[in-house]
Structure 1
Amino acid sequence: METRSLGAVGSVSEVGLGTWNIGSDWGPVSDDAGRKAIEAALDSGITFLDTADVYGDGRSEKRIAEVLTKRDAYDDVIVATKAGRRLSPHTAAEYTEGNLRSFINRSRKNLDVETLDLLQLHCPPTDVYYDPTVFDALETFTADGLINNYGVSVERVEEGLKAIEYDGVESIQIIFNPFRQRPNELLFDRAAANDVGIIVRVPLASGLLTGALSKDSTFPADDHRNYNRDGDAFDVGETFAGVPFETGVEAAAQLEEGVPAEWSLATFTLRWILDHDAVSTVIPGSTNSDHIRSNANVSTLRSLTDTEHTAASNVYDEHIRSHVHHRW
């Protein structure tokens, strides 16, 4: 497993593990299955785990703590969690020092640590990025020893660009994949110039970029790919990367035509992402140990050829750009 720098956070595996589905919103997942997924990630050389306090109401954080405690592996892994989405209403005004402190303390307990490795604001309202008092609070938490580093998880490129203006921000988490290419236009260059790490989430567009979905695919009632297709629960960009499902299936099929015979579409997609030097780590989520091992193995593969990159650009321009480029 190759490693890359994540701002001042440190060196991390360039393929990490996202644990949203271990906690909730992807259909039923047992606690045992969640633990086995984390164990498979660690066995594959993954040293970066991403979670959030709302993933299963803390369930994901607790599963991580159980595995790291059992394996005595806290010193070998960086765990990034997020805070803010527990707010109700989820408004900028509620991003107060007191509220954030309570969320951080809850995550510290769930993860069984004194100090969080990396605390990220969890896709807050845009106005939060224009409120210096929020970032002053994050500095206070650092000084108090509650967190080692902080960053932001953003929905839109513009939010990431604003976040970089705060000196203490060490990481930007954003959706980036062959169906969401806009971050590479400006954000990545600005982040690299400021030594801010990039964490790529939703790399496989909620399964569209695995090639395993068809227009007839169905999903459980508690799977966000069922209930959030129109953004009814949270930002629609988190589900299928904001691409209309049927359009995404067609575009994925065309993209797959240019994938090397020995690779899967998922492998091609993750390698495409890692070919962008500004990316610190990509965090595909899975509870399938074979898939986790396969994802981790992408770190050892060659870069895509210019022809393969051009094919991905052509599919984006033909099928996807008009749906997503102006929105995120």
Structure 2
Amino acid sequence: MASKILTYSTDPEGILTPKPLSMDEEPETLSLRPRALSDYVGQPEVVETLEIAITASKNRSEPLDHVLFHGPPGLGKTTLAHIIANEMGGNLTVTSGPALEKGGDLIGILTHLSEGDVLFVDEIHRTPKTVEEFLYPAMEDFAVDFVFDKGVHARSHRFRLNRFTLVGATTRVGLLSAPLRDRFGIFRSLDFYTEKDLITIAKRSAALLDVAIDTFGAAELARRSRGTPRIVNRLLKRVRDYAQVRGDGVISKATVAQALTLEGVDEAGLTALDRRYLETIIRFYSGGPVGIEAIAATLQEETDTLVDVVEPYLLKTGFVTRTSSGRRASEAACRHLSITCRKDPLFDREE
């Protein structure tokens, strides 16, 4: 729930009185996130699952089952957590796995949750093991166990929690431990968006930003957005700036092309890092196969950055394939970069 900031102003008699000014009642930032499932675009199976579960939980006056979302970054995991809290009528508490360094950090959050609240843990696979142990009884029995003293004087106390809903989000579901993963009642995967859905999102966001965009401009923006709503909204803001400064304020196909060329985003939505990744495989390693560690060392980038940010879309579009021997660049990638791929007859015969 948003809180108002009170600004103290001086009245004619010189007495300070709390009086919220008009500017304090305005939202600090314009959010492009939908607030209800009816406004959410894309992921129809996920939305239908949540609609059924939320309606059933509200009819029974029970909290929603714990929910786990997994998929590449920017597909709406955090947005769905906000929507769940709004639909269930509870407050949302947001944290992340790396932020929960000690068990006391998690216990402090859990003990302050009210009945029906939603706790959202982003990158939940990065939660330390010692902290994760506290989640098991909290999720299953709505309780946390404290141990006082040490040795022969040690004693345990169970503290009852208000019933809440844990919403977890992860980009690496395989790194989740089985005991934690099995305690989620709703387990859904988010996939890349279709171009049609991205066009709808681009038009909706443009209306919220009060900028004019035509159908061809929205289609071109969607085509270059890597199937990801977060990237659509980010690129829309950059194109809006370009249209206002270098154009007539209306976002057209030509405006999108000019603005995104300046941003380094090509016709397929590839960024400079994506193209360097592909060029490294093709030029330095003859198209592959090559291990991810070798690619990361050549690019001087972190392996996790390549695996979590770069590769999902390249794999989805078929520019890169994974084999038992490593990554390979496809012929489509060579054509896109206008580079001649070297054939490896021996490797092709073994496949």
- Larger CA Rg, structure 1 vs 2: 2
TM-score calculated relative to the size of structure 1 = 0.31
Q: Larger relative CO (CA 8 A, sep 6+): 1 or 2?
A: 1
